[in-house]
Amino acid sequence: MRTAYFGAVAFISVLSGCGSNPDANNLTNEANANADKLEADASRLDVGADAIVDAIATNARPAAGMLGEAFQAAFGSQGEATAKVADEGGEMTEVTYRPEKLLWLDRGPVLVSIGGDGAPQWRKYAVHYLTYQGGVFKMENGWLDVGSAGAEPSVSDKFSAYPMLYSEGFAVGAGGSESWFELAELRPDGPHALKLYRQIDDGSQREQIGVNGKFAAITHAGFDLRCGSGKIVHFARKADLYVTTDLGKDEECR
């Protein structure tokens, strides 16, 4: 992209040298000014112009400079920021967040940050919906607790028409530690949590469950999980839930 652009600049310069053509001179000056701005923007973002376009087109993690600017707009500081969040008991606790990913969706840029230090069960997602105009990020709305980020936070566009944050969450109880998948769909109006259920009895009742397995297949209609035992369990999308009929009442997917 840069090579073709500067080729055009050189061609205009040759034409302007053949005579005193004010229009050609104006075009040359404008082209040079645009080239300087492009180079300045690329330097500020620590990547070339082609890399900027590629990052936006593929929703890849952009340069640290742009990620830092988005985090600055969301939290008011770069690198990390501390905010108070209510825990499960309703008590306000301080959580330190750091930028993780910057996604470019149809609605605009979305910043994903992870808060909490130490064990994975204390890590949580924060999501901020931003705007980006004139090279400046501005915050529209934010959510500081969008479920557990777990040990391996990820984002995928395979689950639905909207990107899905997913991870393994952790619950620590008297019997030890359990882990389960947590899913949050990034819709235009904000993130929405989707829970996992098993259908029991005659199908009239559902019970929320925790699972721990590996994805065997993901589609907009649902997904398969491979349990530790090797069993494949299918979860079907039902509005804002995922439901399986492959697990009996006392059966687990671990």
SS (H, E, C) 58-107: HCCCCCHHHHHHHHHHHHCCCCCEEEEEECCCCCEEEEEEEEEEEEEECC
* For residue 252, pLDDT beyond 90: no
131 and 188 together in one domain: no
87-143 pLDDT, tens digit each: 777 889 899 999 999 998 888 999 999 998 766 667 888 999 999 998 899 999 999
Check whether residue 31 and residue 106 sit in a common domain. Answer: no
Choose the final residue of a domain: 90, 115, 146. Answer: 146
Q: Are residues 184 and 253 in the same domain?
A: yes
The answer on pLDDT for 44 being more than 80 is no
Residue 159 has pLDDT above 80, yes or no: yes
Number of domains in the chain: 3
Tell me whether residue 54 is in a domain. no
Q: At what angle do helices 22-44 and 2-17 cross, to 10 degrees?
A: 150
* Residue 20 pLDDT exceeds 80: no
Q: Is residue 53 part of a domain?
A: no
Res. 33 pLDDT band, cuts 50 70 90: low
Beta bridge partners of 172: 177
Residues 125 and 206 in one domain: no
Element at 154 (helix H, strand E): strand 154-156
The mean pLDDT of the chain is 74
pLDDT at 177 over 60: no
User: What are the pLDDT digits (tens) for 178-237?
Assistant: 555 778 999 999 999 898 899 876 666 788 887 877 888 899 999 998 887 888 999 999
Residue 63 has pLDDT above 50, yes or no: yes
Check whether residue 156 and residue 240 sit in a common domain.
Answer: yes
Q: What is the pLDDT of residue 151?
A: 65
Domain that includes residue 25, residue range: 2-44
120 shares its domain with 160: no
Range with lowest mean pLDDT among 66-75, 103-112, 152-161, 189-198: 152-161
